[in-house]
Every structure is written in structure tokens, then in C-alpha cells.
Structure 1
Amino acid sequence: MGDLFRSEEMALCQMFLQPEAAYATIAELGERGCVQFRDLNTQVNAFQRKFVTEVRRCDELERRITYIEHELKKDEITLPLLMDEEPNAPNPREIIDFEAQLESIENELRELSQNEVNLNSNFMGMTELEQVLENTAGFFSDQEVLNLDTSRFVATDADPSLAQQRGQLGFVAGVIKLERFFAFERMLWRICRGNIFVKRSDLSSMSKDPETGHMILKTVFVAFFQGEQLKSRIKKVCSGFHASVYPCPSAHAERADMIRDVRVRLEDLKLVLNQTADHRNRVLVAASKKLPVWSIMVKKMKAIYHTLNLFNMDVSSKCLIGEAWVPSRDLPIVQNSLSKGSASVDSSIPSFLNVIETSENPPTYTRTNKFTSGFQNLIDSYGVASYREANPALYTCITFPFLFAVMFGDLGHGLILVAVGGFMCIAEKKLSKIKEEIFNLFFGGRYIILLMGLFSIYTGFIYNDVFSKSMNIFGSSWYVRYNTSTVLTNPGGLQMDPRYHVNGTYVMGMDPIWQLADNKIIFLNSYKMKLSIIFGVVHMVFGICMSLINFSYFKQPMNMLLQFLPQVLFLLLLFGYMVFMMFFKWAKYSGDATDVALGPGCAPSILILFINMVLFGSQEPLKGCKEYLFDGQKELQTIFVIVAVVCIPWMLLGKPFYIMCTRKNKPSKELSHENGAVENGKPSSAPPAGGHGHGDDEPMSEVFIQQAIHTIEYVLSTISHTASYLRLWALSLAHAQLSEVLWTMVLSASFGMPNYAGSILIYVIFGAWSGLTVGILVLIEGLSAFLHTLRLHWVEFMSKFYIGEGYAFMPFSFRTILDSENAE
């Protein structure tokens, strides 16, 4: 947890790599994932960098792998799961063999695919020819055979119109898509001016298009005509409509011989097609076993060359120079990686690393584990922490599920959340393989869900609320002193005085007797409202104290005096004092008090006291009661209000006047910017004080205006933020009432049914009640409470100390690259 308190200390390093060892060194750093490289070639075009040729080779390898994957999907061959250990990036010496192997597989697959397309085209053509020969048999009769022959329409040179004079009919037979036939028929009718007769016969089965692979329905047609000129026109129309024309003799014997010949050829084609498919399947299966490994190797290799393009070549072209941000505690790991990279290629000159001074603001890096990563993501969604400032995620691990549970306090609903979160935590290895986006959103916050459920169980136990019912574990501290006649003669109800009807304090939580009380809502309303104010003020005071930690770490003593002190005084003297009055009232006034002035009837309203305190007003108390909680309260409140009012100009003018005096007294040669001063060779990471930096070159008018804005913002937000915590009360009350409505109006409606009908009704209604409970009270209400809790942390808590103007540390890591590509 120490790593979560503040971001890692970063160092800007300069690397000097030998060209022969650069690839192996970057590969080793990619496996470690602890270095963020900077681009030293921003002025160089992407196509003019040193390793652009290698990147293009990797792109070509990726294209070939993508093609093989496409062919595997086409044949419905699933890729095997990758082994536990990922392959390392290939050696530069292995890339040539690797490239040749991929090229060989691609060429073989392309040749097999083209052969398969040609064979399928031939097979479909022969199949269609067979169907034409079979389906056209009914178009001819014995009397027509003598007059129908396509060979009889060849005109001689002596008399071109000889065929037409003889009055013989010709025909063209073929196959066309059924969807095109009717337009095809109309076109033939128009160009032949009605001198044509077309007959068709639909094929019983659908055929597969060899190019697209789609199933289509075709029909056999025969067009009868007279004259060579019409024949030429018909063939042109067939070509335009992509109709396949096949030779078809009119004689029955010739057709029979031709059908036998076609069927023999079809059997041969089937045999060749099966052999081709088997060979293609063997090639794909063999490639699929290595494809996941190849894919990872190419991605790593491409990432390495992209990173090497960020390096700069020295003047002698004998050394690659790069710069990178490295966590200070990981410097030995980086140095070890450089040594391994040089040793792997037997380089005589070692690579080395230098830590350099810089005035730049380093990236923010916070080490997390599977438990803390979810909470850190909640904070980073608001804004990445400025370098080395206090990290709210450490405290959010507790405050977030607790504030959620205050709004979601129900032991039964908390058990549901614990079951869901616990299951995802136990089966996280199996569930981590699911790549569905919405599920991964919940899976990433599995520990948050688990803690929210556990805290909800605790608050549900305190509220004594289980699916809107109460548990009677410790009995009740209330007892009835009225006798039977008194109860029977007062049908309008009797009030129970705590002085006579309460036996001590309840052990823990809420007394179950409140389930029967008529004033249950009034009591819970006051109870939960006061709790929300108390939790809110404590949470905000803690946020202001966190700013003190930042000022102390960044050595800003004047910010402690001119910013932290007036802010904490303003908050404590007003709303902190209001919380004090709540506890004082609970301790002083009691139903057991013998003095009337200390009884519940004389207890003053905290809200009225607070309003009168701010407005310097007063209210006449009831007879025998006192206006204030203790003696001297009026004078003390006056002092508190005066000091709180003084804190406003203190915040408004203190810091600007201090900056003005500092500039006048400091010689110009000693002026240095607040941000970026180098101390002991390390970049100064001091963020602007309170998130409001004032450089030495900034006009004083801007300083005064900016400070005025932030002062007004803090004063007004102190009031609005305190009121904002009332959402804890509102959502808690709403959740309890919704749960009670579901129990009363849905489930308990079936309890009065007798016999078997009641059992069946309870079974059905219980299913509806369970669905509504999970859907409305757990999912919808849970999401609402989650969002409100998130807002309380982002706005009410973190605004007191969190700047969030940093940028994330994004190291060069193979694991991150592969995960991001798999997510896509």
C-alpha cells in the first residue's frame, strides 16, 4: 500500500545502444515493461526514419498472417489456445527464414484457392451442362428432331439467306439465374420482335457460386428462333445477362451419349476436388498450430522497430541514442536489460545508461495490483494525478465502499453483491479470458463490488434492514407498561415515553421495535440526515488535511499558512461546529432526565441554532427551556462567525500579497520558476500550490483575479458540498422504502392464500419479487448509489487537495500491446 500513497519517483535517462545490440535490448525492455521512450525524431518524416523498411516488412508479415487467418475462418478451423508462456521476439537472423516460411504458406494457399475456384467453376459448368441435357429432353419431340439442329444454320457464301429460306428452327440452350430470367425473357422478345419462343425449367436444387460462395437458384432455358441473325443477337443478350450457354444436340441418342460422357467427367472432377480440399485442410491445420505464435512474434518485432525509430543516430552512425522515463526503483532492472541485450549478440562494446537533469514534468506512475487497480481507475477517470502528489486511491479503497453502503444499507442486498463479487474474484482466471466489453467493465471492478457488498452487510446490520425486514437478535430494549384495559380503551394508539418504556441502550444497531412504530419514517429521517452531515464534514476535513500533506512534501510552508489554515478554520468553525452541536445534544438531552430543561421537549433544533448563529439572531425558547445548549454558547458562536469571516480575506489576499512581496525582495538573477527547478539532479515535481500556480512572469492582476475565483469557489462550495452529502440520507431512505414497497405489495400479497393454491402463488410471486429485487434494488439502485458515491469523491472530497493535471506513464510493454490488440 505504500506505493499507492504517492506516485513513483521518475528519472529521465539517456540510453546509448550499439546498433547490433539495439534490437535485442529493446526486446528485453519490452518484456520488462518499465520504460517510456521519448521521440527524438519529431522533425523527421515517418517515411524517412531509419527502420521504416523493417516496419514495412512487419506490415507485410501481418498481412500474410491476416490472410491465413481469413482462410482458416473460411474453412471453419479454430485456432488453438496459446500456451502459458508467450514466445519471445524473433532473432534478426531468424526473420528471413520466418518470412520465407510465411510466404511459402501464403503462395501455396493462394494457388490451392485458385485451383479450387477453377475446379469448382468447371464442376459447376459440367453440372449445369448435365442439367441442361436432362431438362431439355422434354422440349423436343420425335417430329421436331429432324427440323431442329444448330448445325443447320450455317449460311453459305453463295446464298446467305439459304437457312432462312428453308424455314428451319434453331435453338440456344443454357442456364441463367432465376432472378434474371424474366428480364432476360423480355429483352429477347424485344430484340427479336416476337420472333422467338422461350421455354424454361427451374432446377430443383440451389447451386453454389464458386466466386462468392453464396447459394443461388438457377433455371434452364431454351430459346427457339429462325435465322442466323437472331442467333447472334440472342448470344449477345445471354452474354449481357451472364447466362451460361451450353451445346445441346436435338437428337435423343446424341444427348444420351453426351450425358454419359459428362457424368464420367463429373466423377473425375469430384475426386480431384476432394483431394484438393484434403490437401488444403492439411496445410491450414498445420499453419493454425503455429499461427498464434507467429502473430505474437510479428507484433513484438513491429513494436521493437517502431520504438527504434524513436532513437536518434549519433554523428558517427555507430551508436543509437534514446531518451526514456524510468521509475527510479527500476533503474537496476533497465541496466540489467541493457547488459543482457549486449550479451545476447556478443557485443564487444556495452550499452550504458545515464540519468540526466531536466526541467520537464515527469509522467505519473502508480504501481497497482489486481485489488487496487479498480480503485486507481476510478481516480484516473477524473484526471491523472500530478507528479508525486498525494493519491486519493489509497483512501478510496475504504471511503468509497463505505459511503456506498451508507446509501445501500441492506444486509440482504449486500449478500447479493458479495456473492457476485466473490464469484468473480474466485473464478478470475477463467473469467479473465472473456473479451466482452460490458462484462470486462464489471470484472475490472470485482474487488470494488465485493467491498461494497461487505460494507453494505455492515450498514444493513446497523440499520437492522434485511429485505425491508428487521432481525430480532438481541431482543428489544422497549417494553410496554400499559395494562390490558388501558390498551383496549385507547383505540387511537398510545405513545411510549422513553423515560418509562426503555430499558437501557440497545446492543448494536437499530432496535427491531421500530418496524412497528407509526413514527418510524420520522425517526429514521432525522437519524440518517444527521449521519450524512457528520460523514460529509469528516470527509471534507480529511480532504483539506490531505492538502497539508502535499504542501509539506513539496516544501510550501506559505501555502500551509495562507491556504490550508484559513480553509480548515472556515470549515471547522461553521460546519464542524454544527457536528459538535449534534453530539453535544445527543449527550446532554435524555428521556431519563429529571430536569425538564434537559428533557427531549426542550432540546433545541440544531438547524435553527446554526441559522441564528450565522445571522446573529435569536429565538425565544419554550417555557422552562433554554435557547442554547450550554452557557456562553452565544458568545462562542459570535467569535466563530467572526473568525470564519476573517478567513475569507485571509484566503483572498494573503497569497497574492505574499507573491508580490517575494518578487520585490528577490533579485532578478535569483528568480526561478516555481515549476521545474532542478534539485540534486532530479526534476522538481512541485505542482502549483493548491492547483493554482503563479509563475514569476505572470502579471499580479492575473494573480489577484485567479485567487479571487478560487476563494469564492471554496467558500460557496463549502456550503454546497455539505448539503451535497445529504444524498447519503436521501438515497438510503429511498432504498429502504422501495424495498419495503416490494415486500408489501408483491411478496406478502400471496401469504394469505390457503392450501396448495397459496404454495403455487408464492412460488410464482417469489420469482417476480426476486427479479424485481435484483433488477431494481440491486442493479438500478446500486448503480445510482455508485454514481452518487463517485461524485462525492470526485467533487466534494478530491477538490480539496487533488490537482489531477499530470499525464500517465505509458511504458513500452509487449503485454500492454498484445492486450490492447486482443481487446479490439
Structure 2
Amino acid sequence: MLRSERMGCYQVIVSRELAWEMINMLGELGDDMVEFIDSNKDQNSANRLFSRFIKKCEEIQTNLAKIKQLLKDYNFHIQHCEDVEEFLIQLREFLSTRDRIEKTYIDDINQEIESFTKQIFRNAAQVEELEKKYQDLKEQSSTYLFYKDRFISSLYYQHREDLERKKKQKLQSQIQNVEEIEQETVVVLSSKPVSRRQQPIQQKHRNEEDADWEDQFLTRQFTTVIGTVKTEDIYRFIRSIYRLTKGNFWNIQKVHAEFPDRTIFILFFPVASIQNSYLIGKINKILDVFNAKIFKSIINKDEIDLKILQIEQDKTDVLRVINLAKKQLYSDLEEWSLPRKGLNCSKIVEMQLFVEKERSIFVQLNNLKPRKHVFIGRLWCPKVYQEQLLQTQVKLSLKYPNQGQSQIIECEINDDDVPPTLFKLNSFTAPFQQIVNTYGIPRYKEINPGIYCIVMFSLQFGIMFGDIGHGGFLFLFGLYLCINHKKNPFDTRRDLNVLYSVRYVVLLLGFFALYSGLIYNDFFSLPIYLFHKSCYVNQRDENGELEYVKKPNCTYPFGFDPKWYIAQNELTFFNSFKMKLAVIIGVIQMTFGIILKGFNNKYFGQWIDFFFEFIPQLVFMVTTFGYMIFMIVIKWNINYQQDTSQAPSIINLMINLPLKLGMIPDGKSLWNQENQEYLQQNLLYISVCMVPLMLFPKPFLLYLKNRKNNKRTYVVKKGSLNEKLIPQLQKNQNSDDDFIQELRKSQIEKEETIKKQFLKENSIQESMDFDQFESITKDKHEFDFSEVFVHQVIETIEFVLGSISSTASYLRLWALSLAHSQLSKVFFEKTIGSGIIEGNSLQILIGWFVFVHITVFVLMSMDLMECFLHAIRLQWVEFQGKFYKADGVWFNSFSFLGNLRQFNVDLSNGIK
């Protein structure tokens, strides 16, 4: 992991008949084996030969996604693939049992999926339509029942009561008239005939009103509208009707019991008020705007009962048809939710994984340049896997002896090619490498900062977040993730999946925070007696005041003595320690970064950079800030307890170093003043001399070197295979047999060269590879002295001033640690601490609740993220900036295993 894998460039020449088979075999090699170079960069991706096959795979995936969503809608359990490697083995065995060749399987499943998609969605649409019709019938039935109960029945009985009352009144009037007639005419008339004459008239009047009461009361007086509208729109709907009719209407409304999102309404409009056709059109538009469902207005009670009975019969019939259609639909979908024989996942997941595998093959085929009867392309492969790569050609020839020829031959690197960077990573190192890669990919063969990020990044975070309680919780949470990640390989919560992937980062962050907290002896702002004793005892001074006196020859075993947390100079003491610790760690880390730059220069043979950048920078850093660390350590080892006024200020000494030319005007020195001044003056002169040494030699030496070798080319001339065979192919397109024979001769020659190269030492080979890469990079641009000189001036100024600013930047370790401890102290004192002092149990209980929430949401969330971001800044800028180029290209391997693993995770998380 210190340096990337050594890469080799290989040319692939394969006949059209075997192109798919070769790509398929290369994809089965495994992770980090091959990466194809795009040989058609000048061609639009949509116009490439296999783009239509890629589009077909994407269309199949779209259909599969629709089927999968249908399975979820009908609550089918989908079994995801738990082991992609085992799936690939089972898939290979399954495909081997087919009579047809493997590459035709995509056409078979395409036909199957298209046919099934049309059938299943036709059935699903029918079920959906029937269910919608059933819901409409239920809504219509409920509306008529409400209409009948709330209006028709009550109106009918009220009308009958009115008729009986009028009948009694009329009968009384008739009786009164008869009595008057009897008094006036005693001879001729009798009451009995009158009664017979009036009775038919009464009966006739009553029957007419009973038969036509609806027409008399409603048809001629009111127009009725019944229906349903969305509940959220009901008030706006009624308001619109009110404004249109100016309030001249009557309404009844009720939220639907079975459909809370729908509200039943009954509207009555006086006939005289809506005689205008314009008003009727406006009412209809309002009904359309609010998507209101309107049902036929029926006044007769018997007709309503008959209508409700008919709707109930329709509901029964529709429900029976729905059950039959759903039964067929479930039967069809069940096959796609179950795993097929020999495979460990549902059929739908199997199809999705296989189609993705096919799509990746066609993507790589698009990187090959098509000729008349062959495809030609190039790929990167780590040298350690060269033998497996070459064996692929042999296996392909043995498996398909009569279906064309294929060649895999090592070739030189083109001018515009940059070898990709590859590191062998695992679940522990991968997240730390990702932190480095976020800043920039390591250049090919340069030292990888990721290996140092594991400890340095975690330590810097721990210094800022140091607390036994907070660090302990973080450590236990990381431990929980490490233990349980295998139990939940595909958790439905995506955020938890992310935490599982960085479980070791969380574990180390918690460990170093806990370790720093033990050094600080800080447990939620409280000191703890880990060793049940202190090196300080209480005693009275001459004035009778209590003071703490250190026991002779007593040293606290680990961390800080708890008594420091009750000392008057607690804050001053801890500030001084943490500030000096931050500076020491910063200077050591920056110096180490400069040393790594020297290793890079030596490895790549960049001797000008080694002697005129690395050495001056290292000397400058040691003679300035290295000397400051030396003074801090010396001062820590001198006892100024008797007279603290004699303790020199290191800040003043560093300021006087350039301003007073190393002199000590106040006479406060760490050792003999004359000797210290002499040392400081020499260090100052040395550090000043390093600046022009960094600035001038490199540009002039490069100028002289370029002038001397003006006509020299650094790139090894191509012509072994790529330049010889392509023209030959163009000249002899009609003779493929001669072309293949020439390829065989070239391969024999190339294989002999490869065998000779394998006899050399790996370090020599790696150096030659990088020299070739460097010479290619240098020859891409012509030498410009002014540009090189200006660039060197910028780098020199940036280093000198950056050394000061970077050292100051490391003071964030002290600042964040102080902020964390003070926040923790204030939160404790203002919540639980005040209740403990006053002895109020209720205040302690409430304070405990507040303290826990503040700790979780402020210190364990916000402050944790702040410390994390500051640690990243120190890792990226202050450390990696000293040696890290970060302009490399990551090795994107073509592997079914790696590609399908990521695709399977996306499927499990519902992303695809």
C-alpha cells in the first residue's frame, strides 16, 4: 500500500467472432485485474458499434424495474443476492446446461421479459381499472344512502304530516259549513248527501298530492345536485358556488366514512334563480374544475331503493371479477419472486444482475477499435497478474479453436496515456484511502498518504475530541458496528450502511479520543482518580491559606494529576500544555512530509529536486521550527519553581531570532546565554541561505539540461506492435490470414522480450517504468525558462510562508480541544452540577435529561463533525501538501465481481 502496483500496457487483437467471449473471460478474472483503454475517444458514444446493445440492456432493466415495483406493490418478498461470487458460479453452471451459446441468452430473456411485461401490465391495468370501478360503486352507494337518509326520507314524512294536517283543517271547515247549512235549510237538505258528495272530492285531491308531491315540492321549486368532491377542496368549492349564486342555494355535506379524502355534498338551487343558461354553464364549470363526481338526482324513494340495490349487485359482480383477476396476477408474479433452481436469489434479481453483466461487456466492447474482421484495443493490467492475463488467450483458443484468432501482447505506453494507480485495499484501509482520494488520486508510484492517514488522522481527531466519556461512547459505537456488520449485510437504512462501511474509522477515532481523554484525565469535564492517589497534598502556607504541594519524587502514573482541575491556574496550565503539544505534533508531521518528498525524489531519480528542494526545505524546517521544539523540550526539563520570573518566553525567543539576529536582550536564556545566542545566529544564517538554494539552482540547471539535450527525445520510440500492425492491417484488409501470421511472429518476438524483462530486479523495472512515464510527461510541453522560474519562485515563497502558517494552523488542535473541554464543563455545571450543589433531586432529574440531549446532539454530533473536518484539513493541506502531487488516475477495473457487488448493493438499498 506504500506505492501503487506496477502497471503494464497490453494490446488485445481478437476476431469479431470471439470478441464477446474474450471480454467475458477477462471480466471473470476477478477484481483489480484489467482496465480497458478507450480506443475511440474521438467518436461519440452514441455512434459506437455496440451502443444499441447497451441501450437494449437499459430498456430491459427498465422493464425489470417495473416488474420489481409491481412485486413490491403486491407485497411479494424479494430475495436479494447475498453472495455475488457464488451467484456468478451458479449462473455459469446454469448457462452451461443450455444448448445454445452463452451470448444468446440475453436475446432469450429479452423476448421473455417483453412478453411477460406486456401480459402482466395488461392484467395489472385490468385489476386497477376494476378496483377503481369498485371504489366508484362504493362511493356512489354511500352517497345515495346518505342522500336517502338525510333528505328524501325526512322530507317524505314531513310532507305526509303536512297533508294530514291540511286534511284535518279542511274536514273541520266542511263540518262547520254543514252546520251552518242545516240551520238555514231544515226542510230540503240533509247532512248525509253532502257528505257523500264531498268524500270523492277529498279522496281525489289526496291521491293527486300523494302521487305528485315530489313534482309539487321539488321539481317546480328546486334543482338538486348530489355528488362528491375532495375533502381538501370542499370549502373552496362551496365558497365558489356561494359567490356565483350570491348565497341563493342550500347545501348539505358530510365527510365520506370509507373515503376520508372525499366529501359528499347535496346542493339545492331555487328553480327561479338558475333559469339563466349562463349561470348553469358556470356551475358546471365549477364542478369540472374541482373534479367533482356527480350522480343522478332521484326524488322518488322507491327509485332510490331500487338504485341502491342495483349498485350493490354491481359491486358483488365486480368484486368477484377482481378476485379472479388478482388470483391470476399473483400466480404470474409469484414465479418472479422465487429463486430458480441452483440460484440464490429471486428470479427478478437474477435477471437484473445478468443484464447488468451483459451491459458491462458491451461497454468494454465499445472501447475496442473495429476493423474489417477484428477488434483492436489496449488495456492496463498489474504486472503481478500478467501471467493470468496471458493465460486467458490460451484458454480462449482451446475453448473455441475454430472460431477465429486472438492475441494479447504487451506494448509500450503511448504519449497521452497515464498509468493508473492501484492499491490493494481491504475493509480496514479502504475508508482511509477514500479520505485521501477525495483530495486527489495519488500519482502513479508516488508514496501513498493513505497508509499514514490511518494513524495521523485518527490521532489528530483524538487530540481535539479527547474525553474519556465521549471517546468511550464513540469507541463502543465503532465496536458495535464492527461486530454487527456481518449480521446486516444489506440493511434497509442507507445511513446505517454508510456507517458499516466506515466502521473501522469510527473505531479508531473513538480509540484515540479515549486515549487522549485518559491523558487529559477528563471524563465529561470531571477528573477521575484512576490510580486512587494524587501526587499533591493539602497544606497551609504562612498566611493560613490552603495550597497544594507536590510530594517529593512522586509522578502520576499516567496522564494528568486530578488535582490540576481544582488549581487556580488550571486553564493557564492546560492551555500551555495543549498549545505546545499541538505545535510539536504539527512540526513533526510537516517534517515527516518533507522527508517523504525526499523519498519520492530518490525513487523517481529526480536528483535536482532532491538536492535543491528536499534538502533545503528539510534544513530550513529543522533550523527554525525544529529548533523551537527543541527549546520547548528543554524548558519542560528545567525546574523554574523557585523563581518563575526567570523562565524565558519561547515566543519572544522565536520573534527575536529574525528581528534581533538571534540575540537575547532580556537575558532570559535556556542555557548559557552566549552559547545560545551563538547557536541561534548560526541557525538563522543557515535558514536564510536555504531560501536562495531553493529558488535559483533548479530553474538554471533545468535550462542547461534542456539546452544540452535540445534534440534528444526521452520517449522510447514506438513501433513494436501498435505502429507496425495497424498500417499493415490497413494495407492488407483483404488478407486476414497473412495478418494473423504476422501477429504470431510479432507475439513470439514480444514474448522473448518479456521473458528477458522478468529476469531483472523489480526495483529496476519500476524505475524504468516511471522514467519512461516522466519523460513522456516532460516532452508533452516545450521547455519555457520563464515559466519554470516563476513557478519555482511561487513554490519557494509558498513553502517559506506556508511553514509559518501551517505551524499556526496546527494550533487548531489546541483550540478545538479547549473548546470541547469548556463546552463539556459548562453543560455539566449548568445542568447536573447545579442540582448536585443545591441538593435538589428534581433539578438533578431534569438536568440529567437536558445533559444527555445536549451531549448527544451538540458534543457527540456537531462538535464531533467539527473535529472531523479540522482533522481532514490538517491531513490534506499541512501534511499531504508537502509531498503529495494528487494528479493521478484511479484504476477502474473491469470485473464482474466488483461491478455486480456494487450493483447488488444498489439493488438492496432500492437505488436501482
TM-score between both structures, scaled by the size of structure 1: 0.81
| Candidates 469, 473, 491, aligned match of 1:412 | 469
Match of 2:195 in 1: none
What does 1:698-737 correspond to in 2, within 5 Å? 698-737=783-822
Deviation at 1:494, TM superposition (A): 4.9
Partners in 1 of 2:8 and 2:497 — Cα distance?
34
- Checking the alignment, whether the CA contact within 8 Å between 1:8 and 1:388 is kept in structure 2 is yes
Q: What is the one-letter code of the residue matched to 1:782?
A: L
Say whether 1:814 aligns with 2:869.
Answer: no
Is the contact between residue 148 and residue 169 of structure 1 (CA under 8 Å) also seen in structure 2? no
Q: Which amino acid aligns with 1:56?
A: K
Aligned to 1:513: 563
Stretch moving more, 646-655 or 428-437: 428-437
Equivalent position of 1:163 in the other structure: none
Change (3 A) 1:519 1:734: same
Following superposition of structure 1 onto structure 2, how do residues 796-815 of structure 1 map, counting pairs within 5 Å? 796-812=878-894, 813-815=899-901
Amino acid at match of 2:27: G
Give the 3 Å change call, closer, same or farther, for CA 753–308 of structure 1 in structure 2: same
Match of 2:74 in 1: 75
Following the alignment from structure 1 to structure 2, what is the Cα–Cα distance between the partners of residues 676 and 764? 79
Q: Quick one: structure 1 residues 224 and 100, their matched pair in 2 at CA, closer, same or farther if it must change by over 3 Å?
A: farther
Q: CA deviation at 1:705?
A: 0.9
Among candidates 654, 663, 666, match of residue 618 of structure 1: 663
What residue number does 1:646 align with?
689
Change (3 A) 1:786 1:617: same
Distance apart, 1:287 and its partner CA:
2.5
- Given that 1:248 and 1:255 are in contact with CA atoms closer than 8 Å, whether structure 2 keeps it comes out as no
Asked if structure 1 preserves the Cα contact closer than 8 Å seen for 2:593 and 2:879, the reply is yes
Distance 1:234 1:256 in 2: 29
Match of 2:49 in 1: 50
Percent of aligned pairs with the same amino acid:
28
Aligned equivalent of 2:675? 632
Q: Deviations over 1:209-248 (max 9, x none)?
A: xxxxx9644557899999xx99999899979948878889
Contact 1:357 1:681 in 2 (8 A): no
Give the aligned partner of residue 115 of structure 1. 126
Q: 2:10 aligns with which of 9, 13, 23?
A: 13
Deviations 1:97-144, CA, capped at 9 Å, x for gaps: 322322232222232234335544655676677678875766889747
Q: 2:531 aligns with which of 458, 467, 473?
A: 473
Whether the 8 Å contact between 2:537 and 2:548 is mirrored in structure 1 is: no
Alpha-carbon distance between aligned partners in 1 of 2:522 and 2:240, rounded to the nearest angstrom: 81
The answer as to whether partners of 2:71 and 2:333 remain within 8 angstroms in 1 is: yes
Deviations, residues 320-361 of structure 1 (Å, cap 9, x unaligned): 222222222233343455555666667654643222101321
Aligned to 1:794: 876
- In structure 1, the residue matched to 2:760 is none
Question: Which of 109, 122, 142 does residue 98 from structure 1 map onto?
Answer: 109
The alignment partner of 1:502 has SS state of: coil
1:7–1:387 Cα contact (<8 Å) kept:
yes
Counterpart of 1:284? 333
CA distance in structure 2 between the aligned counterparts of 1:105 and 1:384, rounded to whole angstroms = 46
3-state secondary structure, aligned to 1:473:
coil
Q: Give 1:59's aligned residue.
A: 58
CA contact (8 A) 1:203 1:218 kept: yes
What pairs up with 1:179-194 in 2 under 5 angstroms? none
Give the secondary structure class of the aligned counterpart of 1:5: coil
Q: Which residue of 2 aligns with 1:29?
A: 26
Give CA deviations for 1:745-798 in whole Å, capped at 9, x if unaligned: 3322222455xx63x543443333233333333333322222222111111111
Please tell me the residue identity of whatever aligns with 2:326. Answer: A
Over 3 Å counting, the alpha-carbon distance change for 1:747 and 1:256 in structure 2 is closer
State the Cα distance separating 1:50 from its structure 2 match: 2.3
CA distance in 2, matches of 1:775, 1:245: 54
Report how far residue 569 of structure 1 moved.
0.7
Question: How has the CA–CA distance of structure 1 residues 114 and 733 changed in structure 2, closer, same or farther, with 3 Å as cutoff?
Answer: closer
What CA deviation, in whole Å up to 9, does each residue of 1:455-498 have, x standing for no partner? 22322222222223132516333446x5xxx54x62455575x6
1:576, distance to aligned residue in structure 2 (A): 0.9
How do 1:579-618 residues align onto structure 2 when only pairs under 5 Å count? 579-587=629-637, 589-590=638-639, 601-615=645-659, 616=661, 618=663
Is the Cα–Cα contact under 8 Å of residues 412 and 466 in structure 1 kept in the other structure? yes
- Quote how far apart the aligned CAs of 1:721 are: 1.2
- Partners in 2 of 1:190 and 1:777 — Cα distance? 58
Q: Match of 2:490?
A: 433
1:110/1:234 CA distance change after superposition, 3 Å: farther
Q: Match for residue 86 of structure 1?
A: 87
The alpha-carbon distance between structure 1 residues 275 and 565, as it changes in their structure 2 partners (threshold 3 A), is same
Give per-residue Cα distances to partners, 1:506-555, cap 9 Å, x unaligned: 43332233233222222222222222222111111100000011011101
Note closer, same or farther for the CA distance 1:274–1:706 as it changes in structure 2 (3 Å cut). Answer: same
- Deviation track 1:722-758 (CA, whole Å, cap 9, x = no partner) reads 222222222223323333333333322222455xx63
Deviates more, 1:329-338 or 1:274-283: 329-338
What is the SS of the residue equivalent to 2:377?
Answer: strand
Residue 330 (structure 1) aligns with: 385
For 1:538 and 1:675, locate their aligned partners in 2 and report how far apart those are by CA, in whole Å.
Answer: 45
Counterpart check, 1:556 vs 2:606: yes
**Given that residues 474 and 506 in structure 2 are in contact (C-alpha distance below 8 angstroms), is that contact kept between their aligned partners in structure 1?**
yes
C-alpha distance in 2 between matches for 1:401 and 1:118: 60
1:663-704 deviation line (CA, Å, top 9, x unaligned): 2333x3324379999997998446999xx9797723211111
Aligned-residue offset at 1:713: 0.6
Partner of 1:394: 451
2:714 corresponding residue in structure 1: 672
Matched AA of 2:503: R
CA–CA distance in structure 2, aligned partners of residues 628 and 396 of structure 1: 38
Secondary structure, counterpart of 1:354 in structure 2: strand
Question: Does the residue aligned with 1:320 lie in a helix, a strand or coil?
Answer: strand
1:571 is matched with: 621
Query: For residues 169 and 119 of structure 1, do their structure 2 counterparts lie closer, same or farther at Cα, with a shift above 3 Å needed?
Result: farther
**3-state SS of paired residue (2:711):** helix
1:654 Cα shift? 0.9
RMSD: 4.4
Conserved in 2, the CA contact under 8 Å of 1:15 and 1:322?
Answer: yes
What CA distance in whole angstroms lies between the structure 1 residues aligned with 2:472 and 2:445?
38
Deviation at 1:377, TM superposition (A): 1.0
Q: Matches of 1:393 and 1:79 in 2, distance apart?
A: 39
Deviates more, 1:725-734 or 1:760-769: 760-769
- Shift of residue 630, structure 1, vs aligned partner: 6.0
How far apart, in 2, do the equivalents of 1:324 and 1:144 lie? 98
1:212-361 correspondence runs (5 A): 216-218=262-264, 241=288, 263-289=312-338, 290-315=347-372, 317=373, 319-337=374-392, 348-349=403-404, 351-358=406-413, 359=415, 360-361=417-418
Greater mean alpha carbon deviation, residues 718-727 or residues 34-43 = 34-43
What SS does the aligned partner of 1:751 have?
helix
The alignment of Structure 1 onto Structure 2 pairs a total of residues equal to: 770
In structure 2, how many angstroms separate the alpha carbons of the residues matched to 1:445 and 1:73?
Answer: 30
Distance in 1 of aligned mates of 2:56 and 2:781: 52
Shift of 1:408: 2.4
Which whole-Å CA distance do the structure 2 matches of 1:728 and 1:185 have between them? 66
User: Per the alignment, in what secondary structure is the counterpart of residue 86 of structure 1?
Assistant: helix
Query: 2-side partners of 1:734 and 1:182: how far apart?
Result: 56
Q: Partner letter of residue 649 of structure 2?
A: S
Report the 3-state secondary structure (helix = DSSP H, G, I; strand = E; otherwise coil) of the residue aligned with 1:669.
Answer: coil
Q: Which protein is richer in helix relative to its size?
A: 2
TM-aligned CA distance change 1:224 to 1:301, over 3 Å: farther
| Partner Cα separation in structure 2 for residue 520 and residue 236 of structure 1 | 82
Listed as ranges, the gaps of 5+ residues in structure 1 are 151-167, 209-213
* Secondary structure of the corresponding residue to residue 888 of structure 2: coil
Contact 1:20–1:345 (8 Å) recurs in 2: no
What residue number does 1:156 align with?
none
From 590, 596, 605, the counterpart of 1:546: 596
Amino acid at match of 1:80: Q
